[in-house]
Amino acid sequence: MQVGYYPGCALHGSSNDYEMSVRACLSKLQIDVREIDDWICCGASAAHSLNQKLSVALPARTLGLAERDGLNDILAPCPMCSMELCKAGKALAEDPELRVEISDIVELEITGKSRVLNLIQVLQEFGVEKIQSLATRSLSEFKPACYYGCLLTRPPKVLKFDDCEQPESMEKILGLLGAVPVDWNFKTECCGAGMTLANEDTVLDLSHKIISDAIDHGANCLVVACPMCHVNLDMKQAAVKERFGVQRDMVVYYLSDLVGIAMGIDEKDLGVDRHYVVKD
């Protein structure tokens, strides 16, 4: 299986541990990961508030590059990126005039047909059973609270991925690998990502709610598939602890971490040791 790979800014910066994890995991699965040559920013939180065309053009160019290189499936491990790419793809596929105009702007022929996938979808595509067959150890000691955050399933009309309020795809994968995911409430609540710098109080409050609900429901770790979520839940956990006292440390894994661990990849190679909160 071959996928085009769109790291986006996060995975090449603050969250390069995520990239390590994803790459290690996918190479173990012998998925041929082709980073899209000359990719640019997806526009994420900024573009759409500045200029509607720009917010389509930026991701559209990346889509165009992928099509140019004959990459039908694109993996964007950052939900923000995958959402932006999907949104652009949908817009282009539905509006021929826009397609022409944008293609002209970015100087690339874009049909908007290439599929954009998040990490979970790629694993599903590859086949959980196959992953299972490659697994060397059971994840039975892990009681993860799978945290999807705000963008992995939303907006549902654009992403058409899982149930946007009660998603279960991560639980399914980890369950099959022997983990014991807990049923909890905050799967799709906001962690405050957008405000990480602007308004830390909110972030800490929200993150605290998420972490403590996970603990309340018997989780011994959190699993995410979003760099932003990871920053807020992992990096800020100390601050949360300081502000609200209470809870015990919760290791925050990327989905690829646990899948990798199940397949016997060394935690170092997955970059788990580079998290702020580590298993003691």
Residues found near other proteins in the complex (CB under 8 A): 163-166, 185-186, 189, 213, 216
Closest CA relative to residue 159, chosen from 237, 79, 99, 215: 79
Closest CA relative to residue 37, chosen from 118, 108, 121: 108
| Secondary structure class of 252 (helix, strand, coil) | strand
Of 109 and 165, the one with the shorter C-beta distance to other proteins is 165
Of 140 and 185, the one with the shorter C-beta distance to other proteins is 185
Of 35 and 216, the one with the shorter C-beta distance to other proteins is 216
Q: How far is the CB of 153 from other proteins (least distance, A)?
A: 10
Q: How far is the CB of 184 from other proteins (least distance, A)?
A: 8
* Gap between the terminal Cα atoms of the chain: 37
Q: How far is the CB of 206 from other proteins (least distance, A)?
A: 13
Tokens of 96: 């021929």
Of 128 and 164, the one with the shorter C-beta distance to other proteins is 164
Of 164 and 180, the one with the shorter C-beta distance to other proteins is 164
3-state secondary structure 79-133: HHHHHHHHHHHHHHHHCHHHHHHHHHHHCCCCCCCCEEECHHHHHHHHCHHHHHH
Q: Among positive and negative, which fits the CA dihedral 171, 13, 37, 93?
A: positive
Q: How far is the CB of 166 from other proteins (least distance, A)?
A: 4
Of 6 and 186, the one with the shorter C-beta distance to other proteins is 186
Cα–Cα distance list, 166 to 19, 83, 153, 162, 171 (Å): 27, 18, 10, 8, 11
Q: How far is the CB of 186 from other proteins (least distance, A)?
A: 7
Tokens of 249: 């440390």
Of 196 and 212, the one with the shorter C-beta distance to other proteins is 212
Closest CA relative to residue 260, chosen from 186, 145, 173, 201: 173
Strands of the sheet with 144-147, listed across from one edge: 144-147, 221-224, 251-254
Cα 237–45–239 angle (5° rounding)? Answer: 15
